[in-house]
């Protein structure tokens, strides 16, 4: 005997967001009424373990093997009894982009085996209701993520920029008393947002704000005794105030590094507006620093609304400069 339990729903969220909710099985207890518990790693060939719950039917242990994973498109797992031909169930989710920003979720399960005839009627009724309940819960959760308007950075969110040069201005750390003060004695360039794990960011900022000045044009005019190097073994060594943690500047010592000759600063440490933001870089790195993957579509949408181009590295302009630097090194 073979049967298919078929359900579907349209979710007003990108497939990327729906997938991020489905793939984060550790958060299933927060929202999933069908599979309220699932543990393990979602990797093809791996087995995960949890429970399956359906109103009016007994809760059953779940220990399927993942058979197919195509990021943001398809997830399949297989459960079967040890006795060949007795019972086999392949549970799968297919995500189809509709072209208007929403996602058609196909949530099915294919059943086969001699035991199926005894249990198909409750599966097709009570089981179907439970699957549809999960679909509704998934829709609500994904749409909640998709509708978020995240706070990016106080400067970006306020849209407060200046066309004036920061040359001649002073950066101050966050200490209310005796702050570290660093004078900027050259023009500031390439102001951008960064999502990497190394760049310091102020409170209530999702991404850091970084700009550069030609090396040798920063002057510590007060509080220098409080400056300490952060992770000295990195190519860009950051110097931060040991009291408040504000990163004041970063310097490059390796003469072969593509950023040698530049010092990195945080323009928000200057009183008043910062230079206009040119782009946001390393946005996907936010996931590595703890941001839920399901939030990423909303974050990129917010950057787009703010008119800030975004990339998962630097801007194309800077990436071309780095690539050319590698060519120069190879020729030298």
Active site residue 241: no
- Beta-bridged to residue 109, according to DSSP, are 5, 91
As a whole number of angstroms, the distance between CA 192 and CA 212 comes to: 10
Tokens encoding 154: 């106080």
As a whole number of angstroms, the distance between CA 53 and CA 131 comes to: 10
Tokens encoding 6: 């078929």
Active site residue 196: yes
- Beta-bridged to residue 57, according to DSSP, are 54
As a whole number of angstroms, the distance between CA 262 and CA 123 comes to: 65
Active site residue 173: no
Tokens encoding 217: 């044009």
Q: At 77, is the secondary structure helix, strand, or coil? A: strand
Q: How many CB atoms lie within 10 A of CB 265?
A: 25
- Please give the positions annotated as active site: 194, 196, 199
């Amino acid at each position: 005997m073979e049967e298919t339990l078929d359900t579907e729903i349209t979710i007003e969220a990108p497939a990327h967001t729906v997938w991020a909710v489905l793939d984060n099985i550790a958060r299933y207890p927060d929202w999933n009424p069908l599979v309220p518990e699932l543990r393990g790693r979602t990797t093809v060939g791996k087995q995960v373990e949890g429970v399956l719950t359906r109103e009016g039917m007994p809760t059953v242990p779940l220990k399927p093997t993942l058979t197919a994973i195509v990021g943001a498109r398809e997830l399949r797992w297989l459960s079967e009894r040890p006795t060949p031909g007795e019972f086999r169930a392949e549970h799968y989710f297919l995500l189809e982009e509709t072209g208007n920003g929403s996602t058609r979720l196909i949530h099915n399960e294919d059943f086969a085996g001699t035991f199926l005839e005894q249990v198909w009627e409750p599966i097709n009724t009570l089981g179907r209701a439970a699957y549809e309940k999960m679909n509704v819960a998934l829709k609500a959760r994904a749409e909640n993520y998709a509708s978020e308007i995240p706070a990016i950075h106080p400067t970006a969110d306020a849209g407060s920029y200046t066309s004036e040069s920061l040359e001649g201005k002073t950066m101050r750390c966050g200490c209310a008393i005796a702050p570290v003060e660093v004078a900027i004695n050259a023009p500031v360039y390439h102001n951008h947002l960064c999502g990497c794990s190394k760049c310091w960011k102020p409170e209530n900022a999702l991404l850091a704000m970084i700009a550069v000045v030609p090396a040798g044009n920063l002057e510590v005019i007060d509080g220098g005794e409080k400056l300490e190097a952060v992770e000295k073994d990195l190519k860009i060594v950051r110097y931060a105030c040991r009291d408040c943690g504000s990163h004041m500047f970063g310097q490059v010592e390796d003469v072969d590094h593509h950023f040698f000759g530049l010092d990195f600063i945080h323009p928000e440490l200057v009183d008043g507006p910062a230079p206009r933001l040119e782009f946001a870089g390393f946005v996907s790195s936010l996931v590595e620093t703890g941001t839920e993957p399901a939030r990423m579509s909303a974050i990129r949408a917010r950057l787009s609304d703010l008119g800030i181009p975004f990339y998962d590295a630097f801007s194309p302009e800077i990436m071309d400069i780095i690539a050319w630097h590698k060519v120069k090194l190879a020729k030298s």
